[in-house]
Amino acid sequence: MLLLLFSGLCQGEVPIISHVFDATAGQSVVQQTFDLWIDGPGLWSFGALAPDGLAFVDQEGQITGEGLLLSGTGFMQSSCLLEAHFDLHLLGEGTHTLGLQVGLEGAEGILGLAIASGYWILPLKSDRVRVEREGVGQLSLPSGQWFLLEEADAVFHGEQEAWLPRSDIETAELTAQVGSIELWWGSSSRLWQAGDRDKVTLYLRGPSPAGELVLRCAPHVRLGAHWSLDGQDLGCEQGSNGGWILHLPSLAEGDHELTGVVQTLLPPTSGQAEIQALWQGVEAFLPIMIGRSWFDYDGLQRIQVDTHSPLLLPSGRIRSTSGRGSVSVEDEGLNVVIPLDDPTKPIWVGTGIAESILWSP
């Protein structure tokens, strides 16, 4: 999990944006809108400084760790977009808190940020920002310190009311629903056999903001490369150990179906494997029971051989027929009898068909 902090020059409570990524993805990109209200007599610039592991796209379209997000002349009020790039290889697994420092030069202003916890404002190079709150009166805000607004608050810069678009308030409301996101797999009570291939369905309940859904699987399960959400194909990136990273759009209210194909491979023993889905900090697991069908032909087998080579049995004993004859093999599951004169020609046992073949290694 990554926690992105927007910080000014002063200490205090700051807004935190949290995201969950698959650390093996290498790189990940997050977009966040913010509002900017600036009042200045001439040229001004608004820039940012990022720590290691975090970069952003500057006003020239370049990915950098330090640079200008926006510049201009005189008065401006607008909604802007921050595109943040995370180096997951550098950060590694675990929870990381990254602080993005922002600053304004050449003017006074206010930065507005709508996230799950509410709408935050940050006075920039100004001690003239105040909030009028019903039942409380005027609250003077120090420069460089974040403040969480309430719904009916009015924001002023000097005697002028600062109109902030609050453009991302809808996204903030969706983000606030993350804690109640529901995620579950469709029923899978069937017994899978080695080599089976079938469709599976993951259900997601919106609303939810856009983001990355991570799929992971056990060693003896193979996830297909094509996944669709409500019938629409999704962009996918290869994850770790056969997993996938799916890029999901924002989800409207209601239930949504994510479908893909899964194939089971041959495990050393029959048992349970599972597929894990991780979305917006919520996990869901799909248990898959994998049998070995005829690979688990158990008991005593009598195989027919035609060889003068000594035979090494799975139990470690050595038998010889001196030509054509039969050999009894006690074993559980798929295994081999090895002709010691030519080990490159093993005799496969543990299957029903093994007794119907004349083996001539």
Q: What are phi and psi of 175, to 5 degrees?
A: -60, -35
List, in order of start, the domains of the chain with CATH numbers: 2-175 (no CATH), 178-293 (2.60.40.1280), 297-359 (no CATH)
**CA nearest to 113, candidates 226, 9, 36:** 36
Question: From edge to edge, which strands make up the β-sheet containing 232-233?
Answer: 182-185, 197-208, 251-264, 221-229, 232-233
Read off the DSSP letter of residue 60.
Answer: T
**Partner residues linked to 148 by β-bridges:** 120
The answer to whether 193 and 218 have CB atoms below 8 angstroms apart is no
Largest pairwise CA distance in the chain: 108
Beta bridge partners of 264: 221
In a 3-state reduction of DSSP, which class is residue 167?
A: coil
Q: How far apart are CA 313 and CA 295, in angstroms?
A: 18
pLDDT tens for the chain, residues 1 to 361: 455 566 554 445 778 777 666 656 667 777 787 888 999 889 999 999 999 989 998 888 888 999 999 998 888 887 787 888 888 888 887 788 888 889 999 999 999 988 877 888 999 999 999 999 888 889 999 998 889 888 888 899 998 888 765 543 333 322 323 334 578 888 655 678 778 888 999 999 888 888 888 888 888 888 998 999 999 998 888 876 678 889 898 888 889 999 999 988 877 666 678 888 888 767 788 888 777 655 555 556 778 888 888 888 887 888 887 788 888 777 666 788 888 888 888 888 876 677 778 888 7
